Structures are given as C-alpha cells and as structure tokens.
C-alpha cells in the first residue's frame, strides 16, 4: 500500500520553484515560482499568450520544464510522468471536455477512479463514481451516454472524472469558457464544494467576477513571468496589472480584461 503523505494547513500542496519552458526561441514560461496551500483556491490570470496554459502543462506533466523544480505534497515531481503526478494527488480538468462519448456518464467517472489509484478495484471505483455523480449534480444522468450531455453537464462530468482520481489539488483550465452567467454561477458553486471536500484548486480564468468570487489568492502572469501575486483586491489595484491586463479604469468588483466576456457571478 502506498504511504500517505499528510499535509498540514500551512504546508504547500504544490510548490513551483523557478519553472521555465521555451518553445524554440520563445520563453513561454520564465522563472515562475509560487505555492498552492492546503485548502486554498488559487487563480492564475493574465492576457492571451501570457503562458498560463503552458504553466498548467508543466504542472500536470505534459511538458518537462527547461529549468526549475516542482514539489507535490513535499515530494519532488519535476521529472515525474503525468500518471505518477496523478497517483501523487494531482487532478486536471480541461477547457475542452473529451468524455468517452459512447460510455455512460457513470462509466466515464469509473474509468477516472480506476486510473487514479493503483490497486483500485472495480466495485470500489463504481461506488466512488456514484458518490461523485451525486456531489457534482449528475446522478440523474448516470446511465446516459456521455455524448448526450449539455455543455454545463459536460463540465460537471470533467470535474467528476478529475475528482475520481482522488486528487489533493485540482487544476482547472478555463472551465467557465462557453457557459452562460447562470451556468457559471453553478460552476462556481461546484468548485466551492470541491474545496469544502478538502481538495485545493488552481484555476486559470479570464472572467474576472469568477476570479473575484472564488480565488483566495491570484497570480498574474504576463509574457511568461509572474507580474503580481496577492488577493483579488491587491492585484486588481496594482498599476502594473491594470496597465497590462485589466485596462485603464478597472472598477474593483466588476473589472474584467479588455478583451474578454462579462458575467456577474454571485454564488
């Protein structure tokens, strides 16, 4: 049986130290350092091309960093594969949801459970999947083929599949994309419930009301680097962030990136 690593509230679930990644001559991520603490919801924001998705790919193991180190629950995971990171407690949900369309919703989540933990048996996996379908609001759709779901239900399924791997930290890449404001509210409530279940969350988001309502702390990226870090209020009143991302006159509480959609989110 795998040794379980306990993390105190003050300890980092994830720690990135000086992560960099280049594509040819382009420095997509440069010397990025930050931590995600136990029970925390951290947002990563920044203009298009700032390096946010590349950073997530470095964290989840899609890319290996050119320099820097990554620790997960105190363990060095810099060279670990995606599967090893998943088994160590890192879950990821994608912007573009790709369920196994012909399988049922319940089967999709069961696959996540089987993949997430070595030694997981089918009955256990099915049971875990059922409880996750209940907590993500999909229980009524358990036996439907996944391709019949709406976009919001797809996103719920993506989160349920990621949670089925029993992560300590969930990475979310623009999961609100394409949702109407009322649906985004439901997604915000879902992410809050994920945190209440003891899972830390790191999410990339362009919709500032969502960032305001969800994030304990915000990391702002620009041109591959961390430009600012702090609470929502701190970063949205930082003149550098205002100039590079938010536009000239952000109204705190409703400020949003110049180029992105609006949507008041109150959950």
Ligand X SMILES: Nc1ncnc2c1ncn2[C@@H]1O[C@H](COP(=O)(O)OP(=O)(O)OP(=O)(O)O)[C@@H](O)[C@H]1O
Q: How far apart are CA 225 and CA 122, in angstroms?
A: 43
- Nearest to ligand X of 63, 115 (CB atom): 63
CB 195 within 8 A of CB 13: no
Mark residues 151-180: x for contact with ligand X by CB under 6 A, - for none: ------------------------------
- Nearest to ligand X of 125, 246 (CB atom): 246
- Work out how close the CB of 193 gets to ligand X at its nearest, in angstroms, rounded to a whole number: 26
Mark residues 24-53: x for contact with ligand X by CB under 6 A, - for none: --x-x-----------------x-xxxxxx
- Work out how close the CB of 56 gets to ligand X at its nearest, in angstroms, rounded to a whole number: 8
CA angle 197, 177, 37 (to 5 degrees): 35
- Nearest to ligand X of 197, 258 (CB atom): 258
Q: How far apart are CA 29 and CA 144, in angstroms?
A: 41
Q: Which of 30, 54, 185, 236 binds ligand X (CB under 6 A)?
A: 54
Stretch that binds ligand X, among 21-29, 129-137, 177-185, 227-235 (CB under 6 A): 21-29
**109 Cβ partners below 8 Å, 6+ apart?**
128, 129, 132, 133, 157, 160, 161, 164
Q: Residue 111: in which H helix or E strand, if any?
A: helix 105-116
- Work out how close the CB of 40 gets to ligand X at its nearest, in angstroms, rounded to a whole number: 21
Q: Is 64 a residue that touches ligand X (CB under 6 A)?
A: no
Q: How far apart are CA 133 and CA 142, in angstroms?
A: 7
CB 102 within 8 A of CB 199: no
- Work out how close the CB of 81 gets to ligand X at its nearest, in angstroms, rounded to a whole number: 18
How many residues lie near ligand X (CB under 6 A)?
11
CA angle 27, 93, 56 (to 5 degrees): 15
- Nearest to ligand X of 163, 215 (CB atom): 215
Q: Given the rule CB under 6 A, which residues bind ligand X?
A: 23, 26, 28, 46, 48-54
């Amino acid at each position: 049986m795998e040794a379980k690593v306990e993390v105190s509230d003050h300890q980092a679930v994830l720690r990135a130290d000086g992560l960099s990644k280049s594509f040819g001559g382009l420095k997509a991520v440069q010397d990025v350092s930050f931590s995600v603490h136990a029970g925390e919801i951290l947002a990563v924001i920044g203009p298009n091309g700032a390096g946010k998705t590349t950073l997530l790919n470095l964290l989840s193991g899609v890319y290996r960093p050119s320099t820097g180190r990554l620790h997960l629950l105190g363990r060095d995971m810099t060279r670990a594969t995606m599967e090893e990171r998943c088994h160590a407690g890192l879950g990821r949900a994608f912007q573009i949801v790709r369920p196994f369309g012909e399988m049922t919703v319940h089967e999709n989540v069961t696959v996540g459970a089987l993949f997430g933990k070595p030694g997981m048996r089918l009955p256990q996996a099915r049971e875990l999947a059922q409880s996750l379908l209940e907590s993500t609001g999909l229980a009524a759709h358990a036996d439907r083929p996944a391709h019949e779901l709406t976009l919001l239900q797809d996103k719920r399924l993506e989160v349920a599949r990621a949670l089925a791997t029993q992560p300590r930290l969930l990475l979310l890449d623009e999961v609100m994309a394409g949702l109407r404001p009322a649906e985004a509210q439901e997604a915000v409530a879902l992410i809050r419930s994920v945190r209440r279940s003891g899972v830390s969350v790191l999410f990339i988001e362009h919709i500032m009301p969502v960032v305001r309502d969800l994030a304990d702390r915000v990391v702002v990226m620009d041109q591959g680097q961390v430009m600012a870090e702090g609470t929502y209020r701190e970063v949205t009143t930082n003149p550098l962030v205002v100039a590079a991302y938010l536009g000239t006159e952000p109204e705190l509480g409703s400020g949003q990136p110049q180029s992105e959609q609006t949507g008041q989110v109150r959950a």
